[in-house]
Chain A
Amino acid sequence: MSVLNWIENHLLACPYKVMTGIDCPGCGMQRSFIALLRGDFATSFKLYPALLPLLFVFIFLLLHLKFRYKNGAMILMYSFITTTVIVIVSFIIKMSSGI
């Protein structure tokens, strides 16, 4: 837990948010990841809905590079597109609810 607290106090600040004051599509990812490490799935999803698909894509990428699945590249591509759509939709929802 102390490690998590240390990480929470040393998050990287988003340069866009510092500069312009508005959230970027990646803001919330680190907070969401810490919530996930604490086992708090609901908070994690609320902060950044695309985190779980992103982690899935990343882990599947590593597995694919290791074991070279037959349709791995195609699955990766489609899950990547899904993740991108989730990122964009959640960003639009976040921006429109903030105004």
Chain B
Amino acid sequence: MENQNPPFPPPPPQGNPYQQNPYMQNPMGGNPMGMQPDLPNHIGILVLGICSIVFCMCYGIIGLTCGIIALVLGNKAMKLYTDHPGAYSEKSYKNAKAGRICAIIGTCLSIAYVVFIICYIIFVGTMISTLPWQNMNSY
């Protein structure tokens, strides 16, 4: 899974990263020198997560797509970060986390609106199809 994205930095070697990096100050945080690699796709997660609300409304399909892609990528990135704690930079982790939360909100809104529209169409369709059209002609 990790080797499918050549442009992004590969995951750091297994083992204890704390001993290899003398600048590491706490086990979960980044170092002040910014030498750790970023999580893959953290910018994409953030951008797509925020785009999911902008397009969520009018064009429910686009918003839903953006939101779901951001959600999937975000979950992957979070899993990578929890599997290798301290191996990726704290900033990219924050970006991915914020993007994931934005994506959750945007996707929920999109789904809610799409469900609302479908209910509306079903309601109107039922009303039209159950009206007594034949009887109306006789008056």
Residues of A that sit less than 8 Å from B by CB: 12, 14-16, 19-20, 22, 24-27, 29, 54, 57-58, 61, 64-65, 68, 70, 73-74, 76-77, 80-81, 83-84, 87-88
Q: Is the CB of A74 within 8 A of B94?
A: yes
Instruction: Spot the interface stretch: B8-16, B21-29, B43-51, B66-74.
Output: B43-51
Q: Is the CB of B53 within 8 A of A83?
A: yes
User: Which of B53, B91, B113, B124 contacts A80, CB < 8 Å?
Assistant: B53
Q: Is the CB of A54 within 8 A of B54?
A: yes
With A20-B117, A20-B121, A24-B113 known to touch, is A65 a contact of B43 (CB < 8 Å)? yes
Q: Is the CB of A80 within 8 A of B120?
A: no
Q: Is the CB of B97 within 8 A of A73?
A: yes
Distance in angstroms between the alpha carbons of A69 and B46 in the assembled complex: 14
Residues of B that sit less than 8 Å from A by CB: 43, 46-47, 49-50, 53-60, 91, 94-95, 97-99, 101-102, 105-106, 109, 113, 117, 120-121, 124
Q: Is the CB of B59 within 8 A of A15?
A: yes
Distance in angstroms between the alpha carbons of A25 and B109 in the assembled complex: 10
What does DSSP make chain B's interface, helix, strand, loop or mixed?
A: helix
Q: Is the CB of B121 within 8 A of A61?
A: no
Contacts of B54 in A (CB 8 A): 54, 58
Contacts of A81 in B (CB 8 A): 105
Distance in angstroms between the alpha carbons of A74 and B73 in the assembled complex: 19
Q: Is the CB of A14 within 8 A of B101?
A: no
Contacts of B43 in A (CB 8 A): 65
Q: Is the CB of A84 within 8 A of B105?
A: yes
User: Which of B50, B109, B120 contacts A61, CB < 8 Å?
Assistant: B50
Q: Is the CB of B120 within 8 A of A76?
A: no
Q: How far is the CB of B87 from chain A (nearest CB, A)?
A: 19
Contacts of B46 in A (CB 8 A): 61, 64-65, 73, 76
Q: Is the CB of B58 within 8 A of A16?
A: yes
Q: How far is the CB of B138 from chain A (nearest CB, A)?
A: 30
Distance in angstroms between the alpha carbons of A88 and B97 in the assembled complex: 23
Q: Is the CB of A76 within 8 A of B58?
A: no
